[in-house]
Amino acid sequence: MPTILALNATPREKIYGDEIMLAELQHLQTLISRLTEQLETKRLENQFLQEELATSTVRPEDEQARQALVQQLAQLQSQYSQSEQNQLDLANRHADLELAHEQLHNDHQALIQQQSTTEQRISTLEQEKLSLENESLQFTETKSQLEAERDALMRKNDFAKQKVEAIIHRLSMLGQTSTETSN
């Protein structure tokens, strides 16, 4: 029975599965070769027995020998048919394994392509991350500078307010003293 891997198998498992399938294919090719040799041997034996039967003259005392030859011929024909069926079954299994092997190979190539695409995407995302980190650092520095400027302007504004209030206070004091002196 062929080994079938799950579609979510890792590339290592798929390669291992490919190696197993290749070993099974080689084993099947060996079996097919042996069965072909056995089939040829049985065919030659069958041919020899048929020729022997055709050339011999049947004597009554050889009837038992003829019956034995007929039985042996029937057995050889049965073995020949069984060998042919086995060879057909193995050839079908071999074809199925080749198709499965091709599909696994295609899946493996697709996974390699997907891995390459993923690695490229990761590289792009890492570059984008570095760029965003640099921008964030620049924004943080700019924010710090703007906050420092705001604080300085607020202090300056408070100082200016104090000066204006002091001037207003002095003017009001001067205005009171000038009204008192004019009275």
Q: Please report the pLDDT score of residue 121 as a whole number.
A: 96
Q: What is the residue-averaged pLDDT of the chain?
A: 86
Q: Please report the pLDDT score of residue 5 as a whole number.
A: 47
Q: Please report the pLDDT score of residue 3 as a whole number.
A: 45
Report which of residues 122 and 12 the model is more confident about: 122
- Say if residue 19's pLDDT is above 50: yes
Helix and strand element counts for the chain (H, E) = 2, 0
Using pLDDT thresholds of 50, 70 and 90, give the confidence band for residue 28: confident
pLDDT tens digits, 39-54? 889 888 888 888 877 7
pLDDT tens digits, 65-78? 778 888 888 898 89
pLDDT tens digits, 98-108? 999 999 999 99
Q: What is the pTM of this model?
A: 0.42
82-87 long-range Cβ contacts below 8 angstroms, 24+ apart: 83/35, 83/38, 83/39, 83/42, 84/39, 86/35, 87/32, 87/35, 87/36, 87/39
DSSP string, 144-162: HHHHHHHHHHHHHHHHHHH
Max mean pLDDT range (7-11, 13-17, 46-50, 174-178)? 46-50
- Say if residue 29's pLDDT is above 70: yes
